[in-house]
Amino acid sequence: MHRGPSHVSLTDELKLLRDCTEEELLAQAVDFDEAALSELYDRYELKIYNYIYRRTSDQALSEDLTAQVFLKMLEAIHNERAWHSSFSGWLYRIAHNLVIDHYRARDRQKQISLDETPHMPDLGLSPVRAAEIALDGEALRAAVRRLTDEQAQVISLRFLEGYSFGEIAGLMDKTEGAVKALQHRAVATLRQLLVHEAE
């Protein structure tokens, strides 16, 4: 089929979208523009995956939960219940809630299957040292799960994702002072939990 000179190819459209601001992409995404949704996915998929993976240390679970984040995004757009302030903060909130829901469901189970044993890092270490590192990581993740949702989110964004206080404030729709206070309380609580665990 012959295309007229005014036709914009999908490749050209994707190139144009890469130069769009987030606000422009979101305006198109609300109208279910496939190319805009695809560009948003490309911009955030790895960030969301890394955020989840650092909370779970489970590749398959992280991939599954990342897919769920974007499904929830589409559902929210469809039901006209999308973000009200920061889009990226909204995605991280969805990811955070999915991780919390996963651990709550897992904690309700009486037994843990072999598939859910802690990930053993392969760092060329002895099996004993590798087991110690895996258990330390699990102890830290368990302690983070005992924080409030907001405290856990600040800890993850600040120390695992490397965001500044200002960036976290924007993502969580809070003031920098509130974020600093959340971090202070979270770190103090983690210290108490980990010291208690070690005793």
**Residues 133-147: tens digit of each pLDDT:** 555 667 777 777 788
Please check whether residue 153 is in contact with residue 144, taking contact to mean a CB–CB distance below 8 angstroms.
Answer: no
Instruction: With H, G, I as helix, E, B as strand and everything else as coil, classify residue 116.
Output: helix
150-171 confidence digits (pLDDT tens) = 888 888 888 777 788 888 888 8
Distance CA 183, CA 34 (A): 38
34-65 confidence digits (pLDDT tens) = 888 888 888 889 999 998 988 888 899 999 99
- Which pLDDT belongs to residue 119? 47
Q: 93 CB contacts (<8 Å, ≥6 apart)?
A: 153, 172
Whether residue 107 has pLDDT greater than 80: no
- Domain boundary assignment for the chain: 11-110, 124-199
124-199 CATH: 1.10.10.10
What token pair was written down for 99? Answer: 């991780």
Please report, rounded to a whole number, the percentage of residues in the chain having pLDDT higher than 90: 9
Alpha-carbon distances of 21 from 26, 86, 182, rounded to whole Å: 9, 13, 30
Please check whether residue 149 is in contact with residue 100, taking contact to mean a CB–CB distance below 8 angstroms.
Answer: yes
- For the segment(s) 11-110, the CATH number from 2.60.40.1930, 3.30.70.260, 3.40.50.720, 1.10.1740.10 is 1.10.1740.10
Question: pLDDT category, 26, cuts 50, 70, 90?
Answer: confident
Please check whether residue 51 is in contact with residue 92, taking contact to mean a CB–CB distance below 8 angstroms.
Answer: yes
Whether residue 173 has pLDDT greater than 70: yes
Name the nearest CA neighbour of 173 among 189, 154, 158: 154
Please check whether residue 168 is in contact with residue 157, taking contact to mean a CB–CB distance below 8 angstroms.
Answer: yes
Average pLDDT over residues 22-45: 83
Length of the chain: 199
Whether residue 95 has pLDDT greater than 60: yes
Cα dihedral across residues 54, 120, 105, 63: positive or negative = positive
Distance CA 100, CA 151 (A): 12
